């Protein structure tokens, strides 16, 4: 990594910490993070066992860790942002979780020994990572042989116009957004980390526009400008992202793709 890229990465991580320090409580209560059939699917695919040690990377509000905790001996809950991890710890403790450890950790430089965990999860977070390839390699490093990595994140369409639209509005709403990757790119990240993909599933999530922008504390002016931008896009964009308006022409919701990958360390 060059000095310039290292500096850029540090700046991006500082933006992530600033954003989640400011909005941490919103991500604990966020309906799109605490609910969803993808959480149940993650449990169905995880091959859990009461003797396993799991790690949840970039836990956010702690919802994935909460789903996993009853199925393992211990879960290590990590996040880059101290304020976010404190919110997750308070949430999980309040939900009666007693088998969790908490650690501030950068997904790209995990402070754990090789072969430390049986299972690793990361849900709706890697689009904030400056170097996703490095993060996936780090997760593979700390997994034991034949351990599983279960990944869920936003997934950008391969079409350039649709891809630019999705990443553009995400960055507008939240300047700590780095990139949502395509399914092909995600599969490459796994393959390069020697993670054998055993399952790849695509699904859609619908975002209520007001909740989506309120969660990130977007100003009223920016919310209005972003809405106008979305509504002015081409018909192909409007159709793909299932833009829904009310009778007054106001933006109600849109839908976007997400990916679930199950990878096993060789």
Lowest mean per-residue pLDDT among 7-21, 147-161, 169-183:
7-21
Model confidence at 10: pLDDT above 90? no
Average pLDDT over residues 92-106: 97
Please check the confidence at residue 32 and state whether its pLDDT lies above 60: no
Mean pLDDT of the chain: 93
CA dist 234 and 226 (Å) reads 15
Cα separation of 45 and 147, whole Å?
13
pLDDT score for 18: 73
Q: What is the pLDDT of residues 219-257, one digit of tens each?
A: 999 999 999 999 999 999 999 999 999 999 999 999 999
Q: How confident is the model at residue 13 (pLDDT cuts 50, 70, 90)?
A: confident
- Enumerate the domain spans of the chain: 3-156+175-205+257-265
Selected residue with higher pLDDT from 37 and 101: 101
Q: For residue 89, what is the DSSP state?
A: H
Interval 169-192 mean pLDDT: 96
DSSP string, 102-153: EEE-BTTB--S-TT-EEEEEEES-GGG-S-HHHHHHHHHHHEEEEEEEEEEE
Is it the case that residue 35 has pLDDT exceeding 60? no
114, pLDDT greater than 60: yes
Rounded CA gap, 73 and 68, in Å?
Answer: 10
In the predicted structure, residue 171 carries a pLDDT above the cut 90:
yes
138 pLDDT exceeds 90? yes
Q: Which one, of 171, 27, 150, 127, lies nearest residue 85 by Cα?
A: 27
Residue 249's nearest CA partner among 264, 262, 232 is 232
In DSSP notation, 224-239 reads HHHHHHHHTS-HHHHH
Look at the pTM and tell me if it is higher than 0.85. yes
Is the confidence at residue 266, as pLDDT, over 80? yes
CB-based contact 258:152 (threshold 8 Å): yes
Q: Of the given ranges (26-35, 72-81, 93-102, 159-168), which has the lowest mean pLDDT?
A: 26-35
DSSP string, 154-179: EB--SSHHHHHHHHHHHHHH-TT---
Q: In the structure, what pLDDT confidence band is assigned to residue 76 with cuts at 50, 70 and 90?
A: very high
7 confidence band (pLDDT: 50, 70, 90) = confident
CB-side neighbour CA atoms (13 Å) of 93 = 8
Would you state the pLDDT for residue 24? 58
Options 3.30.70.1450, 3.40.50.150, 3.40.50.620, 3.40.50.720; which CATH number does 3-156+175-205+257-265 get?
Answer: 3.40.50.150
How is residue 54 annotated by DSSP? Answer: E
Q: What local confidence, expressed as pLDDT, does residue 28 receive?
A: 67
> What pLDDT shows up at residue 223?
97
Residue 31 confidence (pLDDT) above 60 = no
């Amino acid at each position: 990594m060059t000095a310039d890229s290292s500096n850029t990465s540090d700046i991006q991580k500082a933006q992530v910490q600033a954003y989640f320090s400011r909005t941490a409580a919103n991500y604990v209560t966020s309906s799109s993070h605490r609910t969803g059939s993808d959480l149940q699917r993650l449990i169905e695919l995880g091959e859990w066992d009461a003797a396993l040690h799991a790690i949840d990377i970039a836990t956010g509000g702690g919802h994935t860790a909460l789903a996993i905790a009853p199925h393992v001996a211990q879960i290590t809950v990590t996040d880059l942002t101290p304020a976010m991890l404190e919110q997750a710890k308070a949430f999980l403790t309040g939900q009666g979780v007693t088998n969790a450890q908490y650690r501030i950790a950068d997904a790209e430089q995990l402070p754990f020994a090789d072969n430390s965990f049986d299972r690793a999860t990361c849900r709706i977070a890697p689009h904030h990572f400056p170097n996703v390839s490095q993060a996936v390699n780090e997760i593979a490093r700390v997994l034991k042989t034949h351990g599983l990595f279960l990944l869920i994140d936003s997934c950008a369409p391969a079409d350039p116009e649709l891809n630019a639209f999705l990443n553009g509005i995400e960055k507008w709403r939240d300047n700590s957004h780095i990139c949502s990757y395509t399914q092909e790119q995600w599969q490459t990240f796994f393959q390069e980390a020697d993670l054998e993909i055993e399952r790849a599933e695509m699904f859609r999530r619908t975002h209520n526009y007001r909740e989506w922008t309120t969660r990130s504390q977007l100003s009223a002016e920016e919310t209005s400008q972003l809405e106008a931008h979305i509504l002015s896009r081409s018909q192909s964009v409007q159709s793909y992202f299932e833009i829904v308006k009310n009778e007054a022409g106001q933006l109600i919701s849109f839908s976007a793709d997400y990916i679930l990958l199950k990878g096993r360390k060789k």
